[in-house]
Structure 1
Amino acid sequence: MSRSRTNSGAGELLVELRRDSSVPLHQQLESGIRDRIRQGLLRADVVMPATRALATDLGLSRGVVVEAYQQLVAEGYLVSRTGGYTQVAPAAAGILVQERAAGELGGPPRIDFKYSKPDVSQFPRAAWLRSIRKMLNETPNRSLAYLDGRGTAELRESLADYLNRVRGTSARPENMLICNGFAQGSRLLLQVLAAAGYRRLAVEDPSDNELREVAVNAGLEAVGVPVLETGLDVEALERSGADVVMVTAAHQFPTGAVASARTRAALIAWATKHDALIIEDDYDAEYRYDREPIGAIQGLAPECVVYAGTASKTLAPGLRLGWLILPCRLVEQMSDAKVRDDRGSPVFDQLTFADFIARGEFDRHLRRMRPRYRRLRDALVGRLAEQVPDLVPIGVSAGLHVMTWLPADLSEAAVTKAALDRGLGVYGLAPYWVDAGPGGLVFGYGSLTESEVVEGIDLLADAISSLRR
């Protein structure tokens, strides 16, 4: 027996739209429909108004409604049926129940400001597919055999040309190594350095805590060095006794500080004086909004610096594509370590990425994404200023995250818990300190929509207000 279709009106749907908002109308419409489904107000199998009728009713262009419907179909809230009508998806009836259950069981938040989450929905599938087809049609058979541990020559050449042009590196293809993301590259590098006699790794304080664990597992001692507004405190580095240092000079994580020209010169002088090594993690330098590009330190002193890059923030973490530019003395050791670890990264992925870069698709993708991420950054900074003005964001000129210090009357634990109780994921600085430091919050915004950013900050403001009451 077929299920009957129900609808309250051919073109009517109660959704509040704010035309003076910076959030695009299609995203407001998506959010309104999504919320009504979550609240159980639009039940499973309810037929949605026709796009043309709803557009007329709401005073919108039909394209706005079509875009909103398409996004909700992609998310699983709506389903398109034969005959041209759209229904609330059968599975959608359980979304609210699932979300409540997830909250009770400590499941994922509904809006999540977790860092390291770019917008993978914007992955350039069509352009990537063209490169896959070309690679499959043109790759000679010999390229499918075991490779040099450094990776395919084609990708190393494409990356060297790109990085020398865009990041100011001094890369030669023969000095590059392709790895499975920064995770593998850093692990192999620290193991090789420990075997070569390096003993103490200095890391920025605060910084990514995972790297410290990798260093300890490799046999290195990890020590923290404070981060100033101008980058790493090189005088403190001098006192640390370290013989290798990891820096995120172009956009420090998590503070967002940019290493000044003086700091960069002092780092190179330190490395030269002590025959030490700088590891430069250039993790999101392609995304800058309000400042001139900052060149890589590696371009100033190639034999003192290991440069690390990855496609995780620019394309998608799931690609697992990373690269290192190595000083000459480390190339053979790192190539051997890579072969021992996994016999080399997948050939097809490397050749596809090489063609993708060489045809200019990587540049085009980044040009498309910068305005999108900038709008998200602007929405986040603007909403914080409106709703929680004593949380002043820093490090906003680049990247996919901003940070705020917390006022003395608020603790990280209390704020993050109160936010999670409201379905919001916000994250404190505590895990990033080598030594204890002041409280703060890190907001990753890359994977969110503007309406989610706005709603998330509103939830945070409510959480903080409840704590202060």
Structure 2
Amino acid sequence: MDRAKTARSEWSIGSDFLQLDVREAPPGGLADWLAGQLRSAVADGRLPVGGRLPASRVLAAELRVSRGVVTEAYQRLIDDGHAAGRGRAGTVVVAAPVLPPDPSPDRPFPEVITASPGVEVFDAVRAAPARIDLTPGVPDLTAFPRAAWLRAERAVLDELEPSHFGYGDPRGAPSMRLAVSRWLARNRGIRADPGEIIVVAGVAQALTLVGDVLRQHGVSAIAVEDPSSLGARQHLHHCGLATPPVPVDEDGLRVSSLTAPAVLLTPAHQFPMGVVLGGERRRELMRWVAEGGIVVEDDYDAEHRYDRAPVPAVRSMVPEVCYTGSVSKLLAPALRVGWLLAPPRFRDDLVAAKRFADLGNPVLAQLVLARLMETGELERQLRVVRARHRRRRDAMIRAVAADLPGAVVHGAAAGLHLTVTFDAEVDDVAVAAAALAEGVKVQPLSWHRQRPGRPGLVLGYAARTATEIAEGVALLGRLIRPSP
């Protein structure tokens, strides 16, 4: 017997669909076995409602059984109500088996907002249902420029060479890096050569790359503003870096309190308090960098400003700064496109870290964004959303004045969120948890603190209508000051 031929024959008895292998079927029970496999796949979600089964002829050929075996199995699913024949559309799953009831129906819904949030907390909060989502940092996603994006994508595809579909430069597409350098020069006062720019999957990846490279260079701690983004701290902790807190006041970070070799800053619109790093503090920072200090600048939403003049990036004055930004607050977080300006001392290592992380961002989205930047479409989009965000910011300020008397508003002159602080007796975690239970998402300020401080809430307004903002803040007012 030809052993190679026998091996090929045995290997081919099966289907990629659900990894079905007829050798597992009992003798004489092929249709029963196949129907059972299909029911199990429907029950556990591998075959979702609306999913289409393969044509009976195709599946029969792959399994090397008669077509009648497959049609009989399909008919059994149709008879018990799990599937339906749709003519040319084939056989479609229409219902899943009813699962037995939860053996513990009185078990409470797991707490999402707690005083000690874990690394999964933001995933859990995003997944939690809510009528009104006042999560900070989200732009108006309904304003995404779909028509402009489609026009740019068609134009890019018309001009694209076949070579562009291959592996590219891990630093990013050359046209994207050129467009980013021009965008930063126009909008942030930063003069950077395209060769200094690494295209990354958002600021989150930039922080991870920088954190890993700093560890390679012997840095074990990077100071952060206090309060500062819990999410950013989580990324730095994942890199094995400590994050000693440095106080923030009305002029931003107290540079004189820096003791770590590196610091992460949000100088144009400090998160979450919204203050701007003052002129004297910037001069102190420049002296600190000249003495060997390492600055990582997160310029996360500086383009959104309403009641103040533009604030220059620290990177525009100090070329040694590791600077990062993205389009998450300009267009949509789902695009996962940002940039990292790498100073000479870390550039090669950061490029290597990006190369080994993912070989570079997807190229098509880079080319489309580059076109939007170069044609002025992104500036037009910014003007549109800036006016809309301002109106919603105003609506939130009015709502806070009406329903949260005594609350102090911080950081309202720019950005996509504002922060309110309360008297010491308010438990901001309890308020945020109770609000979520009532269908309103907010973040407690204490999540973003490492040191004791006044309680408060961080409230995003850009993605909600004025009516939703008023309703959400009114609920917060009732939770904080319940009726007697």
TMscore range, shorter length: 0.7 to 0.9
Encode CA deviations 1:287-346: one digit per residue, 9 max, x unaligned: 00000000111010112x011001111100000001011112222211111111111100
Matches within 5 A, 1:438-457: 438-457=454-473
Please report how far the alpha carbon of residue 141 of structure 1 lies from its aligned counterpart in structure 2 after TM superposition: 2.4
Check conservation: 1:192, 1:333, Cα contact below 8 A: yes
Q: Secondary structure at the match of 2:257?
A: helix
Match of 1:409 among 392, 413, 425: 425
What is the CA–CA distance in structure 2 between the aligned matches of 1:369 and 1:340, rounded to whole Å?
36
Match of 1:142 among 154, 158, 163: 163
Matches within 5 A, 1:99-248: 105=109, 107-237=128-258, 240=259, 242-248=260-266
Aligned to 2:389: 373
Q: Secondary structure at the match of 2:264?
A: strand
Check conservation: 1:387, 1:457, Cα contact below 8 A: yes
Check conservation: 2:265, 2:298, Cα contact below 8 A: yes
What is the CA–CA distance in structure 1 between the aligned matches of 2:328 and 2:222, rounded to whole Å?
24
Aligned to 1:266: 284
Encode CA deviations 1:205-232: one digit per residue, 9 max, x unaligned: 1111222232233232221101111010
Please report how far the alpha carbon of residue 421 of structure 1 lies from its aligned counterpart in structure 2 after TM superposition: 4.2
Aligned to 2:293: 276
Please report how far the alpha carbon of residue 400 of structure 1 lies from its aligned counterpart in structure 2 after TM superposition: 0.4
Aligned to 2:348: 332
Check conservation: 2:227, 2:248, Cα contact below 8 A: yes
Pair 1:414–1:180, CA change in 2 (3 A): closer
Q: Secondary structure at the match of 2:394?
A: helix
Please report how far the alpha carbon of residue 380 of structure 1 lies from its aligned counterpart in structure 2 after TM superposition: 0.3
Calculate percent identity across the aligned residue pairs.
Answer: 40
Q: Secondary structure at the match of 1:441?
A: strand
Aligned to 1:286: 303
Greater displacement, 204-213 / 308-317: 204-213
Check conservation: 1:384, 1:392, Cα contact below 8 A: no
Matches within 5 A, 1:59-70: none
What is the CA–CA distance in structure 1 between the aligned matches of 2:187 and 2:282, rounded to whole Å?
18
Check conservation: 1:403, 1:441, Cα contact below 8 A: yes
TM-score (norm 2): 0.72
How many residues matched?
Answer: 361
Greater displacement, 155-164 / 104-113: 104-113
User: Which amino acid in structure 2 is aligned with residue 247 of structure 1?
Assistant: L
Please report how far the alpha carbon of residue 204 of structure 1 lies from its aligned counterpart in structure 2 after TM superposition: 0.6
Q: Secondary structure at the match of 1:222?
A: coil
Check conservation: 1:202, 1:222, Cα contact below 8 A: yes
Encode CA deviations 1:11-35: one digit per residue, 9 max, x unaligned: xxxxxxxxxxxxxxxxxxxxxxxxx
Encode CA deviations 1:143-201: one digit per residue, 9 max, x unaligned: 22222221111011011011111101121100000011111111011101110222220
Greater displacement, 348-357 / 145-154: 145-154
Pair 1:217–1:425, CA change in 2 (3 A): closer
Match of 2:375 among 359, 362, 386: 359
TM-score (norm 1): 0.74
Please report how far the alpha carbon of residue 456 of structure 1 lies from its aligned counterpart in structure 2 after TM superposition: 1.2
Please report how far the alpha carbon of residue 264 of structure 1 lies from its aligned counterpart in structure 2 after TM superposition: 1.2
Please report how far the alpha carbon of residue 417 of structure 1 lies from its aligned counterpart in structure 2 after TM superposition: 3.7
In the alignment, is residue 425 of structure 1 matched against residue 441 of structure 2? yes
What is the CA–CA distance in structure 2 between the aligned matches of 1:416 and 1:343, rounded to whole Å?
40
Encode CA deviations 1:60-91: one digit per residue, 9 max, x unaligned: xxxxxxxxxxxxxxxxxxxxxxxxxxxxxxxx
What is the CA–CA distance in structure 1 between the aligned matches of 2:218 and 2:257, rounded to whole Å?
22
| RMSD (Å) for aligned C-alpha atoms | 1.6
Aligned to 2:99: none
Greater Cα radius of gyration, structure 1 or 2:
2
What is the CA–CA distance in structure 2 between the aligned matches of 1:363 and 1:235, rounded to whole Å?
37
User: Which amino acid in structure 1 is aligned with residue 380 of structure 2?
Assistant: R
Please report how far the alpha carbon of residue 422 of structure 1 lies from its aligned counterpart in structure 2 after TM superposition: 3.2
What is the CA–CA distance in structure 1 between the aligned matches of 2:233 and 2:429, rounded to whole Å?
23
What is the CA–CA distance in structure 1 between the aligned matches of 2:221 and 2:424, rounded to whole Å?
34
Pair 1:354–1:390, CA change in 2 (3 A): same
What is the CA–CA distance in structure 1 between the aligned matches of 2:239 and 2:433, rounded to whole Å?
35
Aligned to 1:343: 359
What is the CA–CA distance in structure 1 between the aligned matches of 2:436 and 2:159, rounded to whole Å?
51
Q: Secondary structure at the match of 1:188?
A: helix
Matches within 5 A, 1:5-20: none
In the alignment, is residue 298 of structure 1 matched against residue 315 of structure 2? yes
Check conservation: 1:271, 1:277, Cα contact below 8 A: yes
Check conservation: 2:443, 2:458, Cα contact below 8 A: yes
Encode CA deviations 1:106-147: one digit per residue, 9 max, x unaligned: 742211211122211110011111111111111222222222
Check conservation: 1:191, 1:218, Cα contact below 8 A: yes
Aligned to 1:45: none
User: Which amino acid in structure 2 is aligned with residue 211 of structure 1?
Assistant: A
Pair 1:265–1:137, CA change in 2 (3 A): same
Matches within 5 A, 1:316-327: 316-327=332-343
Q: Secondary structure at the match of 1:226?
A: strand
Check conservation: 2:228, 2:449, Cα contact below 8 A: yes
Pair 1:111–1:170, CA change in 2 (3 A): same
What is the CA–CA distance in structure 2 between the aligned matches of 1:264 and 1:143, rounded to whole Å?
42
What is the CA–CA distance in structure 2 between the aligned matches of 1:198 and 1:413, rounded to whole Å?
33
Please report how far the alpha carbon of residue 434 of structure 1 lies from its aligned counterpart in structure 2 after TM superposition: 1.9
Q: Which runs of 5+ in 2 are unaligned?
A: 1-104, 111-127
What is the CA–CA distance in structure 2 between the aligned matches of 1:183 and 1:117, rounded to whole Å?
15
Encode CA deviations 1:422-465: one digit per residue, 9 max, x unaligned: 33223211211122322111101121111101111222222223
User: Which amino acid in structure 2 is aligned with residue 221 of structure 1?
Assistant: A
User: Which amino acid in structure 1 is aligned with residue 460 of structure 2?
Assistant: G
Match of 1:255 among 261, 269, 273: 273
Check conservation: 1:201, 1:221, Cα contact below 8 A: yes
Check conservation: 1:148, 1:335, Cα contact below 8 A: no
Q: Secondary structure at the match of 1:221?
A: coil
